Chain A
Amino acid sequence: MIRADRLSKNFGKTEAIRDVSFCVEKGEILGFLGPNGSGKTTTMRILSCHTPPTKGTARIAGYDVTRQSREVRRKIGYMPETFGLYDDMTVRSYLDFIGELKGLKHTLRRERVNLVMEQTGLKPVSERLIRNLSKGYRQRAGLAQSLVGDPEILILDEPTVGLDPAQIKEIRTLILSMKGVKTIVLSTHILQEVAAICTRIAIVSLGRIAAIGAPEELAKKLAPEERLAVLAGGNQDAITRILKDISGVLSVKTQQTDSPHQMYHVHVKKGCDIRKDISASLIKAGCDLYEMYPLGMSLEEVYMNVVMGGE
C-alpha cells in the first residue's frame, strides 16, 4: 500500500532524513517512534505530498507522491502535527468545507460529516465556533478532517500530543477500531503509544530508520544481550563465581525474591545458549538448580538503547 524507497530530504546543508525505506501493507498500522527532531514529521510531510523529497521515491496505492500527487491525495487523510483550524467556522461547516475539497458531493458529504462527528465524539460541539473549542476537541476536529474523505490510508503525525490521559485513550481506541480496515502510518515519541496500537514499529533516530519490525520481534532482534533467570540454592558467592566463570556470561546480578532460594539474573552474550553449561556447572559444584528461564528485554529498554546508542 505504501512503499518508500530511500527517501532523503535536505534543508540547505542539514539532513532531515536520509535513506528512509519502508513499506506498509494494507490494514497495517505502522508507528514511527523516535525522539523529537528525528525526522518523523518530515517523513509524514513527504507521504502527504506536502513537501517533495530531495531524493528517493514514495508510492502510495501505486501512485508516486511527487508526480501523481493529486491521485495520492485522493487516497489519503492527513493530520499534521501542529495544525490550525479556521476559528470563525463551526465544526460542522469546517468538516463540510474539507469534504468539499476532497471532492464529496453534497448529500454524501453531509452523511460523511455526520458519521465522522459521531466517530470522533464531536457531535455535542458540532454547531460551536472552532475558536471556542478546547484543546481536546480541536485535536479531534483535526482527526475528523482526515477521516471525512473516507480515505484508505491515514497519515497521523503525533495524533495524541497535548491531550490528557482520558482523551489519549479515546483517540487510541478510535485508531484501534480502524485496524485492519484502513492502512495507518502514525508517528509518536511515546513508546506506550506504539506498543498499544501498532502492528509494526519503525524506530527512527537522527533521520534514519534504526530498526523496523513487529514489537516483540524488534525487542528480540535489537536486544544487545540475552538474559537468563536462574533460581538456585547454595552459597551465594560461590554460585555467582561459578556462573561468572562460564564462557559467554557477561555479568551476574542477584535479585531479591519471595522464595527461600536466591534468584540470579545472568546477562549472556547474544547468540550463546549456555543453559546446558549452567546446569552442569551448578550440579557439579553441588548446588541446587530450581528454575531457569530466558528473560525478554522490554521494548522500552530496547528503544532507549537504540536511541541513546545513536547519539
Chain B
Amino acid sequence: MWFGIYKKEIKSYLQSPVIYALAGIFLFLMAYFTLGMIVEFADIYRDFNMRRMYGMDEMNVTQWVIRGFFSLLNFLLLFLIPVLTMRLLAEERKNRTFEILTSCPISDGDIVFGKYLAALTLILALLLASLVYPLLVERFSQPEWPVILTGYLGLVLTVLAYLAFGLFASTVTENQIIASFLSFSGLVFFYLVGDVTSSKEGWLGKISSELSLRQHSLSFSNGVIELRDVFYLLAFAGFFLFLSLEILKIRRWKA
C-alpha cells in the first residue's frame, strides 16, 4: 500500500527542477574537492621531503583520498538531505492534501514509509553516481576496494538516519523553510556534538561522543564495521521515524 505513495513521490521529485539543480551542484562539489584531494596527494607524494614531513611513507591513496572523499560526502549530505525532506509532510498539510490521503485505506505508516523510501531512493541514486570518483582514483592508483565498500555501507546507514530526522522535522511544521532549518540545525547538532567537548573523559564527554553521528559513521571509512555503530545509526533512524508517526497521530487527535 505504501507503493502508491512511493511512486507519486518519486515522480514529483523527478518533475522538480530544483532536484536536478541540487544533484548537479552536489556532483560538481564532489568532483571539485575530490580532484583537489587527488592533486594534493600527488603533489606531496612526488616531493620526497614533504612525504617525510607528512609521514607518507606509510600513507597510501586510500587513507589520503578515499577517507577525505567519504567525510566530504557525509558533510554535503548534511546540507542536501534537509532540502530533500522538508516538503515531504509539511507540504501535504500546508496544501491540505493530507485529509484526502487519510481517508484512503492506508495507514500513516504507509504514508511515512513510502515517502521515506522515495527520498532514500533518490539519495542512493546520487551515491551511485558518486562512485565515479573512486573509479577515477582507480585509474591511476590502487585504492582498497573493501574500504570503499565499507565506506559506502556506512554512508547508506548514515543516510537512513539523516533522512529519518529530516522527515521528522517535516511532520513538526507545515512551513517548509522552518522544516529544512530544523532538520539542518538538528543534524549539525548531532554531527558535531562529539567534538564540543575536547576529551572523551567525564560523563558529558562520554555521552556527547556516544551521541555523535560523525563519530559513529567515521569508522566505516577506515574499513571497520563496528556493530555498535550499525546499531546506533539504525536506532537513530528508527527513533525518528517512530516520532514522526506519533506526531501524525497527535495531529489527528487535534484535527
Contact flags A98-137 to B (C-beta < 8 A → 1, else 0): 1011110000000000000000000000000000000000
Spot the interface stretch: A23-31, A44-52, A176-184. Answer: A44-52
Identify A73's interface contact among B3, B16, B97, B103, CB under 8 A: B103
- By a CB distance below 8 angstroms, the chain B residues around A89 are 8
Select one of B100, B102, B106, B254 contacting A11, CB under 8 A: B254
A27-59, CB under 8 A of B: which get 1 and which 0? 000000000000000000100111110000000
* Interface flags, B83-108, vs A, CB<8A=1, else 0: 00000000000011101111111110
Whether B103 lies near A78 (C-beta < 8 A) is: yes
Q: Which of A52, A76, A88 contacts B252 (CB 8 A)?
A: A52
Distance A84 CA – B95 CA, assembled complex (angstroms): 5
**Which residue of chain B has the shortest Cβ distance to A74 in the bound complex?**
B105
CB neighbours (8 Å) of A145 from chain B are: 100
How far does the alpha carbon of A252 sit from the alpha carbon of B7 in the complex, in Å? 71
Bitwise, B1-12 to A at CB < 8 A (1) or not (0) is: 101110110001
The interface residues of chain B, by DSSP majority, are classed as helix
What chain B residues lie within 8 Å of A85 (beta carbons)?
97
Are B252 and A102 in contact, CB atoms less than 8 angstroms apart? no
Q: A50-B255, A83-B97, A86-B12 are in contact. Are A70 and B103 (CB under 8 A)?
A: no
Q: Is the CB of B100 within 8 A of A98?
A: yes
Does B203 touch A at the CB level, under 8 Å? Answer: no
Q: Does B253 contact A (CB under 8 A)?
A: yes
Number of chain A residues close to chain B: CB under 8 A: 33
Contact of A48 among B7, B12, B96, B103 (CB under 8 A): B103
**Is the CB of A82 closer than 8 A to any CB of chain B?**
yes
B198 within 8 A of A: no
B105 engages A70 (CB within 8 Å) = yes
List chain B residues, Cβ under 8 A from A73.
Answer: 103-105
The yes or no answer to A80 lying at the interface (CB within 8 A) is yes
The complex places the Cα of A87 from the Cα of B15 at a distance, in Å, of 12
Question: Judging by beta carbons under 8 Å apart, are B253 and A103 in contact?
Answer: no
The answer to whether B12 touches A80 (Cβ under 8 A) is no
Q: How far is the CA of A146 from the CA of B15 in the complex (A)?
A: 26
Complex Cα–Cα for A74 and B105 (A): 5
Give CA–CA (A145, B103) in the complex, Å: 11
The minimal Cβ–Cβ distance linking A150 to chain B, given in whole angstroms, is 13
B2 (CB) vs chain A CBs: closest residue: A101
Residues of B close to A11: CB separation below 8 A: 254
- Which A residues are within 8 Å of any B CB, using their own CB? 11, 45, 48-52, 70-71, 73-74, 76-78, 80, 82-89, 97-98, 100-103, 142, 145-146, 149
Hey, which bits of chain B sit against chain A, CB under 8 A?
A: 1, 3-5, 7-8, 12, 15-16, 95-97, 99-107, 252-255
Q: Which 8 A-B pairs have the closest CB atoms?
A: A84-B95, A78-B103, A100-B4, A101-B104, A84-B96, A73-B105, A51-B255, A84-B97
Q: A50-B252, A102-B104 are in contact. List 13 more A-B contacts (CB 8 A).
A: A50-B102, A51-B252, A71-B105, A77-B103, A80-B103, A84-B95, A84-B97, A86-B12, A88-B12, A97-B7, A101-B104, A103-B105, A146-B103
